[in-house]
Structures are given as structure tokens and as C-alpha cells.
Amino acid sequence: MPRAAILRAPHTPLEITDITLPAPAPHQVRIRLTAAGVCHSDLSLTNGTMRLPTPAVLGHEGAGTVTEVGEAVTGLAPGDEVVLNWAPSCGTCHACSLGEIWLCVDALTGAGRLHARTTADGTDLHPGLNVAAFAEETVVDASCVLPAPPGIPLADAALLGCAVLTGYGAVHHSARVREGETVVVYGVGGVGLAALQAARIAGASQIIAVDVSPAKEELARAAGATDYLVASDTTAREVRKLTGGHGADVAVECVGRAATIRTAWESTRRGGRTTVVGIGGKDQQVTFNALEIFHWGRTLTGCVYGNSDPARDLPVLAEHVRAGRLDLASMVTERISLDGIPAAFDNMLAGRGGRAMVVF
């Protein structure tokens, strides 16, 4: 039986145990995982910031090889290498009809309800974000699978399924960074590292990285940062000083804390743009007064999954990787087993490292 990381309930430790998977239903595929990234969204599920049914197998950023397909599945066969898409769109809801598939009403819950799996003692399990990638094997709806780009190691390609689509999309689709603009990125984790690289690809003239950890400066600069700041009460002032007193054209917030969102907004110029990627709790209240909203003329926008269409954007990202513009391997600062996920969560909370990768 395959092993998996199970969350019995929020605020409880992960349990590494054997699970039983069913044979694929007509529209499902079975996948043997090669690698799965440890994302902040997984941590948000463990601490209750995001609420989904439990007990659940977590993990949503992964890649692997198809081992079995349902009878109604077309275009996929055993042996195919694939990247998991944790937010498949239904194609029929209002958001999908507008072309905003990242806001699909079924993206988080629709397909996930179809995938039965159990522990060895018969307990029913939910897939945490549709794909249950913290497992040696998984069964998913065919809509949750995308062909892995050729020429890219499968363990690296796992990052394309969340961190890179989100960080790249935040810069290119949400903030729409233009050549010559100045960009500040808050949070140098997996998504932040992708956003820094995306800003460099977009031709930003100055890229400022901000994080609580001084140890992340080397990572940030390797990803494209021209300047690095350790977060403090004066960060917004320091960003303005680095940008000729004006503030950055664009801020990308990858943390999900009210104070960081407010700082990101304050660090942009008049008319500047702030994109919030980080997932915060509902108790995180961000406040503005009416006069400053008028005076500064800034915009503040949310960003879900990088406002990305995985089928459209994955080939674009793959071309950047093959051309050497986007470095996936450098984003992975630790390669671990399933048993190492709790320690990876601790490192994330402490602000250490970039992306931890479970390698099977």
C-alpha cells in the first residue's frame, strides 16, 4: 500500500501511514508521484486558516507518472509524465464563462469529492486540495492532470503546478509588470522566488526583495533581486529611499499578513499597484482611511493561483525554463521524504529556506 501524509484534524500533527486507493473510475487516473512541493497553503490547512474536510491527504504541488487510466480517459496512458493541477475549472460557472477560470466555483471542492481513499483501518480520506500529492500514489480526476513539459526533470516540474504558476502569474497577469518598472516582493519563499524571477523576466529595472530572514538574501539575489531588505517597521520608508523617494511601481505580497499587506501598499508610489498573493486568516484586518485612498491613487488587488490558466501558461513557463530564463532547481532548498514534512512546516513558520521538496 502507498504511504501518505494525513491530517486528521486542524491543529493536529501530520500522520505518515499506509492508505488504500481504489481503481480509477471512468474519468480518473492513477499516478505514481515523483515529487511534491511543500507549500504554505498546506500549512494553512493544518492550522485552520483554510478550511477543508478532514481527515485528508494534503499536498497539491506535484508531478509524477501515470500508472493506470479509467476507461473514459482520452489523451493519457500509463507511462505518461504529468504535472498535477490542483484547481481544475468546471468550464460552465459564471467565472469560467468570463474566462476567469482561477475563480471557478468548483476549483477547490468539485472534483475533490469524487476521489475515494481510505486509511488501512478503513477511515475515509479527503484529498486536501483535489490531488493529495503528499502520497506515494494518488488517484485524481483527469481534469487535474497536465502533460509534463518535455526536457524538464520531473522533480523540478512539480514546482510549475503551484509556486511558479502563482508567482509568475502574480507578476504577469495580476500586477502586469512592464519593462523598466520597479518591483518589491514581500516574502522569499517558493512563490516569492518565482515572483522575483518573473519580475526579472518582465524587464523590471529594480527588484527589491523583503523578508524577515537575513539568510535569504543570497537566494533572493540569485532569483533576480537587485536589493534586499530585512523586514522592519521602517520597510516602506526604505523602499521609497531605494526608489528615489517615490516608492515602487509594483508590490507583490506573498505572506498573507495584514501588517505586510499594509506595508506593501505603503511602499508603492502614488498610482502604484499592490497584488496580494499570500493567504491570510479572516482575523487579519487591513485598514485604510478614505482620504489616503483618494490621495495616493493606489490599487490593491487579490490574486488567486496567479490568475493563471495552467493549460495556457504551462507551455510558456516551460519555454522560459528551457531558455534558461527561469531556474526551477535553485528554488528548492531542501529535498526530503514524507517524514520530513512536519520539519519543513516548522522551517516555513520560522522563515527559513525557499521550497522544500518531497522526493519519492
- Residue 315 within any structural domain of the chain: no
Q: Identify the pLDDT of residue 109.
A: 62
- What's the sign of the alpha-carbon dihedral 301, 304, 306, 308? negative
Which of the four pLDDT bands, split at 50, 70 and 90, describes residue 124?
Answer: confident
pTM metric for this prediction: 0.93
Q: Same domain, yes or no, for 292 and 193?
A: yes
Distances (CA, A) of 171 to 87, 208, 328, 344: 19, 14, 17, 26
Report which of residues 110 and 133 the model is more confident about: 133
Asked if 111 and 175 sit in the same domain, the reply is no
Domain total of the chain: 2
The 10s digit of each residue's pLDDT in 184-216 is 999 999 999 999 999 999 999 999 999 999 999
The domain boundary residue, chosen from 290, 305, 320: 305
Secondary structure string (H, E, C) spanning 62-109: EEEEEEEECCCCCCCCCCCEEEECCCCCCCCCHHHHCCCHHHCCCCCC
**Does residue 296 carry a pLDDT above 60?**
yes
Same domain? 298 vs 185: yes
Both 52 and 189 in one domain: the answer is: no
The CATH number for 234's domain is 3.40.50.720
**What pLDDT, on a 0 to 100 scale, did the predictor assign at position 110?**
56
Residue 90 grid cell: 468546471
Q: Average pLDDT, stretch 295-316?
A: 95
Q: What is the pLDDT of residues 67-95, one digit of tens each?
A: 999 999 999 999 999 999 998 998 899 99
Domain encompassing residue 136: 3-148+328-359
Least confident stretch, 103-117, 219-233, 301-315: 103-117
Say if residue 216 is in the same domain as residue 96: no
Backbone angles phi and psi of 233, in degrees to 5? -70, -15
Q: What CATH number has the domain bearing residue 17?
A: 3.90.180.10
pLDDT value, residue 115: 56
